Amino acid sequence: MSSPLTQRQLERELIDLLEARTGLRPRVAMLLGSGHASITNQLKDKVAIGGDDVPGMPLPSPIHVGILEGVPVAVADLPLQAFDGLSFAELAHPVRVLKALGASLLIITGAAASLRRQIEPGAIAVIEDHLNFSNLTPLTGPNDDQLGSRFPDMSEPYAEKWVKLAREVAINAGVPCPRGVFGAIPGPSMPTRAEYRFLRNAGADLVGTSLVHEAIAGVHAGFEVLALVGVTQQVSDGQSSKVSIEAMIDAADLAAPRIATLLVGLMAAARSHT
């Protein structure tokens, strides 16, 4: 593997690549763990940037650039998980590639378990803050000062204006969309009952293994960040926390089209905001 390029070099390479394939410059970047296939299929004037096209470090899956509800967007899959043995740089790389394409808003989707009775399976929760209990940060290692500060401010990791707009769109679409604090864990094993209790007492409303690393990398790169999660199960205090894979799949199947509907509506509403 060749050495990763600096962010400025990456930007120049990708701008040249975009100009050769399409006249679009994405305003919104989407890292989608849920709703990816539906959104990708709805893009107009779509072109793909393959893993071999990205200098310095290949991507695990293509980035699709196209138009969604009049907004130029770049859409990538979110299969990366720290528990697969990826390095800090590999976790941050997709976010930095999307930033190099020129987008200013990063939308991340994923799945999570609910720790609150008010947040039911099938709902789409909009993340307002997080607790990083994964013991990982994608900013470990040398800092690229051209990309962002060595010590990025994390006082508002998820942009409040996008949190509010997402909830407005969800209410209009009839999609349950509570706000919540996301607790990130390393995975792949699920938490014990004591760990769920600790996370709940610490202030987490939802728990999962994805999303937070990308959000940190996004803030560092200068993105405004919005994160949405499909709730796949509910872990209530004092009840069994045993995972039902079948129930989680059913809830994920319900959440995925809701996330896609929300993303389409959000782009329609966001044309004047990005």
Residue 86 lies in a domain: yes
Q: What is the pLDDT of residue 71?
A: 94
Residue 182 lies in a domain: yes
Q: What is the pLDDT of residue 24?
A: 85
Residue 2 lies in a domain: no
Q: What is the pLDDT of residue 2?
A: 47
Q: What is the pLDDT of residue 154?
A: 92
Q: For the chain, how many structural domains are there in total?
A: 1
Q: What is the pLDDT of residue 157?
A: 95
Q: Which pLDDT tens digits describe the chain residue by residue (274 residues)?
A: 445 566 677 667 777 777 778 888 899 999 988 778 889 899 999 988 876 777 665 666 788 999 999 999 999 887 666 666 566 677 778 888 888 888 999 999 988 999 998 898 888 999 999 999 988 888 888 888 878 889 999 999 999 999 999 999 999 988 889 999 999 998 788 888 899 999 999 999 999 988 899 999 999 999 999 999 999 888 877 555 566 555 655 666 677 788 889 999 999 887 766 5
Residue 96 lies in a domain: yes
User: Where residue 236 sits, what CATH number does that domain have?
Assistant: 3.40.50.1580
Residue 21 lies in a domain: yes
Residue 1 lies in a domain: no
H/E/C letters for each residue in the chain?
CCCCCCHHHHHHHHHHHHHHHCCCCCCEEEEECCCHHHHHHHCEEEEEECHHHCCCCCCCCCEEEEEECCEEEEEEECCCCHHHCCCHHHHHHHHHHHHHCCCCEEEEEEEEEECCCCCCCCCEEEEEEEEECCCCCCCCCCCCCCCCCCCCCCCCCCCHHHHHHHHHHHHHHCCCCCEEEEEECCCCCCCCHHHHHHHHHHCCCEEECCCHHHHHHHHHHCCEEEEEEEEEEECCCCCCCCCCHHHHHHHHHHHHHHHHHHHHHHHHHHCCCC
Domain, as residue range, for 119: 7-270
Q: What is the pLDDT of residue 273?
A: 61
Q: What is the pLDDT of residue 53?
A: 76
Q: What is the pLDDT of residue 1?
A: 42
Q: What is the pLDDT of residue 130?
A: 97
Residue 144 lies in a domain: yes
Residue 240 lies in a domain: yes
